[in-house]
Structure 1
Amino acid sequence: MSTTIPVRVERIEQLATGIKQFTLVAADGGALPAFDSGSHVVVHMGERANAYSLTGALSDTRRYRISVRREEQSRGGSRHLHEAVAEGDTLAISPPANLFGLADAAPRHLLIAGGIGITPFMTHIQTLEARGDDFALHYCFRNRQGAAYLDSLPLLLPETRLSLYESELGQRLDIAALLAGQPAGTHVYVCGPAQLNDAVIFAARAAGWSDERIHHEQFRNEVDTAGGAFEVTLARSGILLTVGADDTLLRAIEKAGVKVDCMCREGVCGSCETAILDGEADHRDAYLSDAEKAAQKTMMLCVSRAKGRHLVLDL
């Protein structure tokens, strides 16, 4: 597990119904690590650890900003931040990591956000503006009361670059038509609910877009732990542990005192990939290919589980 950074909650603001913005400063009063657009941090809250995009000014290393939507069906991470964290409290965060960066050279960048998926685009806008790149943002949300940044986005972007879709008013994004109207070589970026991400990816591929031009991010934060308890032997550490039905393999390993690198904790970055020495994994990640999953050579500790009752891992 990466070394964490102690931060103090400087300010908490209500951005929209169910969404709070947390401004974080270094607990020692110093500077925080610089980050690039699309970066996120992982907030560690005891056994919980959720990833949130950084939304503040890229030039400001004195403070970070994250926006957190309260998830009613969550396992407690977002509820903890909304209900138990106050201004002045101290939290631990991971150093910034980026799994959703911008392409270095593209004739146009098409940004598609759904709900709280608007957050990584708040920094992408800064980079694209600074580079003078051609881009447009399409932001889909249920209603204005529950959508973040509706006041600030029109101040940052002209109408030609910002399109809003409020589904309760019957406003829908025609993904296929939008993609068809883009110039050759355009890169598309989507962040939002799985349904939106999947629809954009499917439409882009159906239109002949290469995967190199399709970028997506989806922080699930609430890992699926369904499947019952199982045992794991850590071969190099000589540890036998039990992963509970309501726990994750990664958390169980960390609680046993074994450090594991994991940037995303969402099964998308590949940093916690570990060799399987015996047993079969129930793969739940979005990193390994179907062929790699079938080979049962490695697994992602943060989201995947055991198919049977026991696994032996090279840890």
Structure 2
Amino acid sequence: MTRLDLVVRRSTEIVPGIREIEFRAPDGRPLPPHPPGSHLVLDCGPVGNAYSLTNTGFDTYSIAVLRRGEGSAYLHGLRPGDRVAASTPRCEFAPVSTARKHLLIAGGIGITPVLAHVRDAERWHRDVELLYVHRPGAGAFADELAARLGPRLRRFPDRNAFGAGLAAALRDQPLGTHLYVCGPGGLLDRVLRDAAAAGWLPPRLHLERFVAAELDPGREFVARLARSDRDVVVPSGTSLLDALRGAGVDVPNLCRRGICGECRVPVLAGSPLHRDEYLADDERRSAVMCCVSRAETDTLELDL
């Protein structure tokens, strides 16, 4: 796996608790390009966390980090000149090039990949509309978005106020519009539920969870390792990834949230219980993201 060495170019608090950090290559060379909606996994001290890129250039990478938890606190402490390691950018949330219009919905810090969509849409003259839900005083990039979008931006102070705006937006879109939503799980679930009820088809709905959904501990199952002819018990409350690593099986991993795709393992038999945000529908019978997903059957046979 390709890894990048990045140096902090700038770190600025844009609203209370949210810091925008810009990185560049130490030697000033161009960084790998990426489409809007991309993320990269940064080494945040002892943990690796996925962060959405707010820009689409290749001279620098920019992220916006809400301070909550160990990884974000580490990033908030970085200053110009500090170095970090990162994955190359990955994208499962890019704009659809054939869409007639792009309806963007963001909740809180979920604005980060959506901002990249807006910036790129303005560059290429794509038709976009944005619904942005955030607490008063916590609207990251609100001034820039207002300047870029004008009346195509609608801001809501809470989810209750958002409901009526969402209903109207779902009804009043031209044929060929695609919807993109990023934010906390409750917001995503509401948008997808209301969109389905309004007749939106799944291929036109695109999501990215800013954090992994809260997961139940699941039931115990056995991971059967076909190549090494071993059985590994995965207890309730223990991830498949941790059970495998505890048994001495080295599985590459980064985000541990079902987002980055690094811990993908081929499945030979059994039915995975998918809880990731990475695998496409046509991949879910033959692979599992072992950091978050489990098994619906008593045994899950893996190509390990």
Separation in 2, partners of 1:235, 1:47? 32
Separation in 1, partners of 2:43, 2:225? 24
| Aligned match of 2:62 | 65
**Counterpart mapping for 1:70-219 below 5 A:** 70-71=67-68, 74=69, 76-82=70-76, 84-144=77-137, 146-158=138-150, 160-167=151-158, 171-174=161-164, 175-219=166-210
Separation in 2, partners of 1:304, 1:292? 14
- Evaluate the alpha carbon distance shift between residue 96 and residue 298 of structure 1 in structure 2; reply closer, same or farther with a 3 A threshold: closer
Separation in 2, partners of 1:246, 1:38? 32
- Tell me the secondary structure at the aligned position of residue 193 of structure 2: helix
- Evaluate the alpha carbon distance shift between residue 7 and residue 243 of structure 1 in structure 2; reply closer, same or farther with a 3 A threshold: farther
Shift of 1:222: 8.2
Q: Contact 2:241 / 2:251 at 8 angstroms: preserved in 1?
A: no
Separation in 2, partners of 1:94, 1:184? 37
Amino acid aligned to 2:302:
L
- Evaluate the alpha carbon distance shift between residue 8 and residue 232 of structure 1 in structure 2; reply closer, same or farther with a 3 A threshold: farther
Amino acid aligned to 1:114:
G
Shift of 1:67: 0.6
- Tell me the secondary structure at the aligned position of residue 152 of structure 1: helix
Shift of 1:240: 8.3
**Counterpart mapping for 1:296-311 below 5 A:** 298-305=287-294
Q: Contact 1:281 / 1:307 at 8 angstroms: preserved in 2?
A: yes
> Comparing 87-96 with 243-252, which one deviates more in the overlay?
243-252
Compute the TM-score of the two structures, normalised by the length of structure 1: 0.79
| Aligned match of 2:14 | 15
Q: Contact 1:140 / 1:167 at 8 angstroms: preserved in 2?
A: yes
Shift of 1:95: 0.7
Amino acid aligned to 1:44:
D
Separation in 1, partners of 2:92, 2:205? 13
- Tell me the secondary structure at the aligned position of residue 162 of structure 2: coil
Separation in 2, partners of 1:245, 1:92? 33
- Evaluate the alpha carbon distance shift between residue 249 and residue 6 of structure 1 in structure 2; reply closer, same or farther with a 3 A threshold: farther
Shift of 1:291: 12
- Evaluate the alpha carbon distance shift between residue 251 and residue 153 of structure 1 in structure 2; reply closer, same or farther with a 3 A threshold: farther
- Evaluate the alpha carbon distance shift between residue 9 and residue 195 of structure 1 in structure 2; reply closer, same or farther with a 3 A threshold: same
Q: Contact 2:224 / 2:301 at 8 angstroms: preserved in 1?
A: yes
User: In the TM superposition, what whole-angstrom CA distance separates every residue of 1:29-55 from its partner, at most 9, and x where no partner exists?
Assistant: 322111111111111235522111111
Separation in 1, partners of 2:8, 2:60? 10
**Counterpart mapping for 1:273-312 below 5 A:** 273-276=264-267, 283-286=274-277, 298-305=287-294
Separation in 2, partners of 1:265, 1:303? 7
Amino acid aligned to 1:78:
S
Separation in 2, partners of 1:21, 1:287? 25
Shift of 1:269: 7.0
- Tell me the secondary structure at the aligned position of residue 172 of structure 1: helix
- Tell me the secondary structure at the aligned position of residue 119 of structure 1: helix
Separation in 1, partners of 2:182, 2:222? 35
Shift of 1:243: 7.7
Amino acid aligned to 2:185:
A
Compute the TM-score of the two structures, normalised by the length of structure 2: 0.81
Q: Contact 1:139 / 1:163 at 8 angstroms: preserved in 2?
A: yes
Amino acid aligned to 1:154:
A
User: In the TM superposition, what whole-angstrom CA distance separates every residue of 1:221-276 from its partner, at most 9, and x where no partner exists?
Assistant: 587584699986755368888989987544676795845487x7543576744244
Residues 1:3 and 2:23 are matched in the alignment? no
Q: Contact 1:128 / 1:134 at 8 angstroms: preserved in 2?
A: yes
**Counterpart mapping for 1:266-277 below 5 A:** 266-267=257-258, 272-276=263-267
Provide structure 2 residue ranges, at least 5 long, that are not aligned to the other structure. none
- Evaluate the alpha carbon distance shift between residue 286 and residue 259 of structure 1 in structure 2; reply closer, same or farther with a 3 A threshold: closer
Separation in 2, partners of 1:244, 1:18? 37
Amino acid aligned to 2:100:
P
- Evaluate the alpha carbon distance shift between residue 242 and residue 223 of structure 1 in structure 2; reply closer, same or farther with a 3 A threshold: farther
